[in-house]
Structures are given as C-alpha cells and as structure tokens.
C-alpha cells in the first residue's frame, strides 16, 4: 500500500543532486565504472561542466555544480555514490530493455526517470515495512 501511495503523484524527482544517482546505475552496467566520464553530458542536463579551479558564483550560473573533477581528472558526483552502487542490481531489467531498444538519449532519460521514482519508492516502502516490524 505504501508503494502505491509513494507513486501516486506520478512526478519524477527534480533535485539536481539526484542527476548523477539517476544515471549512474545505467553507467555501472553499461560502462563498468562509477566515474561520470561516459555519461557526463547526460548528468549535466545541458549545463556546462566546470573546469578545475573555476569558482561557481551561484547555482543559476548554468554550471553543473553537482559534477566535480576527481582523482586523475575523472568526473565524479559531488554527492555520495553509495546508493546508486547498491541499487544498481535493480536496474538490470531496465538495462536489458535499453539493450533491446537502443540507448537513445531520450529513451534513456525516460527510463531513468521511471526507474529513479520506482526505486526511491521501493526504498521508502522498505523503510515503512521495517519500522512496522521492529
């Protein structure tokens, strides 16, 4: 019942800090890496990726502030990657679907938004169930 309630609004999660988490499970399956290099343009959502040493004056500057240069100049998420790594196995059916249909960027975005909502709802539902049984 709680899973249904969490999905009733049919809206995707629109916070910028979730962009890397939205696409990272797909990249883990397809590119076998947790760095954002192969999917940086998708994660940036049309914004510029900052260069090393560049100062961001505001979040409205058109810069993908949630992407940073990491070790060996790889692009990494500003936010922890633990959850995308742990939930990556749940994305296997969606990855298989994209393998069959093609990895068109628009289709990837559509499937990623659906999976993000479903998996977030599943995690929230699991927390409700755990609170009731404990």
pLDDT single digits (tens) 116-128 = 999 989 998 999 9
**In whole angstroms, what is the distance from residue 43 CA to residue 21 CA?**
9
Domain spans of the chain, in order of start:
2-133
- Between 112 and 59, the higher pLDDT residue: 112
Model-level pTM?
A: 0.83
pLDDT single digits (tens) 45-95 = 888 887 665 655 555 578 888 888 888 989 999 889 999 999 999 999 999
**In whole angstroms, what is the distance from residue 93 CA to residue 96 CA?**
5
User: What are the E-state strand segments in the chain?
Assistant: 67-69, 75-77
User: What are the E-state strand segments in 60-105?
Assistant: 67-69, 75-77
Both structure tokens of 41 = 């343009």
């Amino acid at each position: 019942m709680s899973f249904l309630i969490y999905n009733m609004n049919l809206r995707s999660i629109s916070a910028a800090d979730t962009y890397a988490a939205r696409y990272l499970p797909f990249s883990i399956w397809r590119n076998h890496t947790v760095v954002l290099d192969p999917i940086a343009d998708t994660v940036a959502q049309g914004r510029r990726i900052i260069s090393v040493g560049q100062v961001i004056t505001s979040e409205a500057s058109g810069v993908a502030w949630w992407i940073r240069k990491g070790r060996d100049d790889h692009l990494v998420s500003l936010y922890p990657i633990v959850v995308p790594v742990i939930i990556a196995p749940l994305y296997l059916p969606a990855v298989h679907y994209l393998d069959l249909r093609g990895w068109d960027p628009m289709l990837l975005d559509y499937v990623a938004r659906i999976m993000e909502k479903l998996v977030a709802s599943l995690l929230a539902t699991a927390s409700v169930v755990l609170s009731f049984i404990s």
